[in-house]
Amino acid sequence: MIRKVEEVQLKKLERISPSQYCTAKKCPYKLVLANSYGFKQLMPFSPNAYLGSVLHKIIELISKGTIINEELFDYHWKKEIDKTEAMLKDSGLSTITPLKYFAEGFALKKIKVRNLIKNRVNAHVNRTVSNRKYLTEVILSNTGKTISGVVDLIIEESRMVTIIDFKTGVVFDKCLNEDGVYIVKEDYQYQLKLYCYLYYLKYNLLPSNLYIVTLENSYVNIPFSLIECKAIYDEVICFLDTTNVSIDIQDYAGLAHCSIDNCKYCPYRPACQYYTVWLDYHFEEMKDLKGKLLKVNIFGNNSMGIELKVADKIVLVNGFNQEFYRQMEDKKGQMLYLFNLKKNKHSCNATANNYTIIYA
Ligand code: SF4
């Protein structure tokens, strides 16, 4: 139950993928930690993220023509869900299985992705009567492979090229542009424009269209120009260079940008020394706590609570299972770092839940 952060040597970035860039530019240290930990998760994702991976895989199989009817859909759906749930159980996350009870909108998303079969079958039929090529999971890289990513689908028809990325979550920002139209999230725009420029570098041919395809089978157009795509590409090259210079001179503090938005879902919070210091002043706004363990309390319903000294306050955290009593007792007097708690509205007290992780 109580984990210890493995110490690793921080490594320079050899490459970055188009899907990583926007998050990395907000806090470069997040990517440095992810890369140094070999992208190993230090915190569980939400069940929605695991369902998202299953949906993405199923969309890929539909677009490849592997799933062409309901029987095949049912077979692959079960296979992917079983595989994901087995992985969750193996990594100690059985409490968020089965996913159908814990992931939001499980049934609706399953129906939506099943509905995609019809559209893809029609497209598949068209493939035989035209010279269109449907290429799935295409790796695009620059010459040095410093920027490299996998495109979900490229459609080539003569010199007309369309790049498509599938998204299973919300595609638009909450704000509107000056014409009153919702704009596509910056991360997704950057991702598609970088794919576009990588394609251009590789084939000396500028794609004609960039689209995001949603679970509702909407095609969201991303307008672009070659100049704009190149500017983003140059920006990423510069980001890699400056980040690696900071790693060389060990200026990690200059790479870590702590803020509520950057840190609240960062899976590397346990390994980020800047976050744990920042948390001292922001624990009331976050779902995490850092404090000295003072006392362990046993309750009648097989549950357990602890008392922590957080800044100058005594904070109670309940909802732990008693089977961890001995482990907790052994940590008395030490600093504990608790992540993903449910905080009480009117005090700093909190309750542990299925996603709570403790590091010492
Ligand atoms: S916890 Fe915050 S500051 Fe630290 S790496 Fe993650 S996002 Fe960056």
Q: Are residues 59 and 208 in the same domain?
A: no
Q: Are residues 141 and 225 in the same domain?
A: yes
Would 260 be classed as within a structural domain? no
How many Å lie between the centroid of ligand 1 and the Cα of residue 36?
14
Q: Give the range among 13-27, 91-105, 198-212 with minimum mean pLDDT.
A: 91-105
Give the CATH number of the domain where residue 239 resides: 3.90.320.10
CA 3 – CA 269 distance, rounded (Å) = 13
CB 294 within 8 A of CB 309: yes
pLDDT digits (tens, 9 = 90+) for 50-97: 999 999 999 888 877 889 999 999 999 999 999 999 998 887 788 889
Average pLDDT, the chain: 91
How many Å lie between the centroid of ligand 1 and the Cα of residue 309?
24
The parent domain of residue 289 ranges over: 283-359
Q: Are residues 58 and 30 in the same domain?
A: no
Determine if residue 216 is left, alpha or beta; phi over 0 gives left, psi from -120 to 50 gives alpha, anything else beta: alpha
- Is the CB–ligand 1 distance for residue 262 below 6 Å? yes
How many Å lie between the centroid of ligand 1 and the Cα of residue 330?
29
pLDDT at 65: 80
Would 228 be classed as within a structural domain? yes
Q: Are residues 27 and 146 in the same domain?
A: yes
CA 3 – CA 40 distance, rounded (Å) = 14
How much is the CA Rg of the chain, to the nearest whole Å?
Answer: 23
CA 302 – CA 296 distance, rounded (Å) = 13
**pTM for the model:** 0.88
Q: Answer whether residue 125 shows pLDDT above 50.
A: no
Query: Which of 287, 294, 296, 303 lies closest to 348, judged by CA?
Result: 287
Q: Are residues 48 and 122 in the same domain?
A: yes
- What is the atom index within ligand 1 of the atom nearest the CA of 266? 6
- Is the CB–ligand 1 distance for residue 355 below 6 Å? no
Q: Answer whether residue 300 shows pLDDT above 90.
A: no
Would 276 be classed as within a structural domain? no
Residue located nearest, by CA, to atom 1 of ligand 1: 269
Q: What is the mean pLDDT of residues 11-30?
A: 97
pLDDT at 224: 96
Q: How many domains does the chain have?
A: 3
Q: Answer whether residue 353 shows pLDDT above 90.
A: no
- What is the atom index within ligand 1 of the atom nearest the CA of 256? 3
SS3 call for 59: helix
- What is the atom index within ligand 1 of the atom nearest the CA of 269? 1
pLDDT digits (tens, 9 = 90+) for 184-234: 999 999 999 999 999 999 999 999 999 998 888 778 999 999 999 999 999
Would 161 be classed as within a structural domain? yes
Residue located nearest, by CA, to atom 3 of ligand 1: 258
How many Å lie between the centroid of ligand 1 and the Cα of residue 148?
23
Q: Answer whether residue 306 shows pLDDT above 90.
A: yes
